[in-house]
Amino acid sequence: MWCSRIALRRLQRIGVEVSACSAAGFQRAMSVLPKVYVTRQVPQDGLDILRKSGQVQFEMWDSDDPVPRNELLKKVKGCDGILCVLTEKIDAELLDAAGPNLKVISTMSVGFDHLSLEELKKRKICVGYTPDVLTDAVAELTVALLLTTARRLIEATHEAKTGGWGTWRTQWLCGYELANSTVGILGLGRIGVAIAERLKPFKVKKFIYTDVTPRPELADMIQAEYVSFDEVAKQSDFLAVCCALTPETQAICNKNLFTKMKKNSIFINTSRGGVVNQEDLYEALSTGQIAGAGLDVTTPEPLPTNHPLFTLKNCVILPHIASASYTTRNAMSALAANNLLAGLRGEPMPKELKL
């Protein structure tokens, strides 16, 4: 349990009777502060904000590994707020375990597919999330993954290290270049725009995108043309998936998409593994329907090391690290803390998810 003298001063300011010298008084004072459970050891900036606020008493699962579900269900009991990460399923079972005091869920993620939005809405629980602060980091990683996959960098370093590098050869380890290419974006949002902005200097010829409806204000920023789902599949040399995982986008990248894609195309996914049918992707990669895939996200996570996708040279798999820069993770932690505190004060959150 983290307590603080700042909390004490704040209580005294708001008129709660406490004696600064008495431990019992301090304990009594703390017990009137909203109770928060933090489900993971989150980066320092967020913790500092919670501590210095003096606005909450919080307990944290002090580990970089997920809290076991049983422990989580016990710890949330009676909480007013929960600060979680994307590995915690926030569903009816958890909300029931927390009980009627729960007012705020603040997730340290832009993705919200781990939250049962309907349940949260029904119970009038506010939800905070962390868009924008991770856009640069995710876009950078997406570009890195795209180049790594298209120019076969993992295969190349392996060959260099293991004696496969016999001599310079004219066709050996050839890949695909961005110059004069068409880049497709599946689900145009802030991250898709940021990826396109970074790819433009590589002399991409054309950006196209598909979404439920055209998004002209975003598309204008990167001169992207709105096309149908089928056209984005047919025309793209590089297809970057940037949509949120929702019931509508579940497994949307399947046989239907891969069979329409060009044989020399590269598929990149830094959104959520659930948008891809992995059996169909394996089929497309192993039969040469598409040239390669770069995945930062899979189903499940971690992907078991004996998964067939790991056997393919033309599939680059990263362990969900798109937002993993020190700056971004701290910014996400700080925003999650500020969302939580604002929600508990009954004020608009800096980044509230509209339910």
Ligand X SMILES: O=C(O)[C@H](O)CO
Residues catalogued as catalytic: 320
**For ligand X, the closer CB: 54 or 274:** 274
Place of tokens 């999650």: 336
Length of the chain: 355
The answer to whether the beta carbons of residues 298 and 274 sit under 8 Å apart is: no
Burial of residue 181 (CB within 10 Å: 0-12, 13-18, 19+) is buried
Cα distances from 305 to residues 302, 308, 312, in angstroms, run 8, 9, 12
Q: How far is the CB of 110 from ligand X (least distance, A)?
A: 4
Part in contact with ligand X (CB under 6 A); list of ranges 3-11, 105-113, 156-164, 255-263: 105-113
- Dihedral of alpha carbons 307, 107, 254, 228, sign: negative
Part in contact with ligand X (CB under 6 A); list of ranges 106-114, 149-157, 161-169, 212-220: 106-114
Q: How far is the CB of 310 from ligand X (least distance, A)?
A: 21
**For ligand X, the closer CB: 261 or 275:** 275
| Cα separation, 202 vs 68, whole angstroms | 45
| Cα separation, 79 vs 103, whole angstroms | 8
Part in contact with ligand X (CB under 6 A); list of ranges 22-30, 75-83, 107-115, 214-222: 107-115
Select the residue whose beta carbon is closest to ligand X and give its number. 111
The answer to whether the beta carbons of residues 245 and 272 sit under 8 Å apart is: yes
Asked if 323 interacts with ligand X (CB under 6 A), we say yes
| Cα separation, 180 vs 51, whole angstroms | 52
**For ligand X, the closer CB: 134 or 222:** 134
Q: Helix (H, G, I), strand (E, B), or coil: what is residue 94?
A: helix
**For ligand X, the closer CB: 25 or 350:** 350
Q: How far is the CB of 88 from ligand X (least distance, A)?
A: 12
**For ligand X, the closer CB: 11 or 134:** 134
Q: How far is the CB of 198 from ligand X (least distance, A)?
A: 17
Part in contact with ligand X (CB under 6 A); list of ranges 98-106, 109-117, 214-222, 232-240: 109-117
Contacts of 339 (CB under 8 A, 6+ apart): 104, 106, 128, 129, 130, 349, 350, 351, 352
Q: How far is the CB of 301 from ligand X (least distance, A)?
A: 10
Binds ligand X (CB under 6 A): choice among 53, 57, 109, 298: 109
Q: How far is the CB of 177 from ligand X (least distance, A)?
A: 28
The answer to whether the beta carbons of residues 53 and 31 sit under 8 Å apart is: no
Q: Quick one: tokens of 34?
A: 């909203």
- Letters for 51-90 (x = contact with ligand X by CB under 6 A, - = none) are -----------------------------------x----
**For ligand X, the closer CB: 55 or 323:** 323
Binds ligand X (CB under 6 A): choice among 50, 322, 340, 342: 322
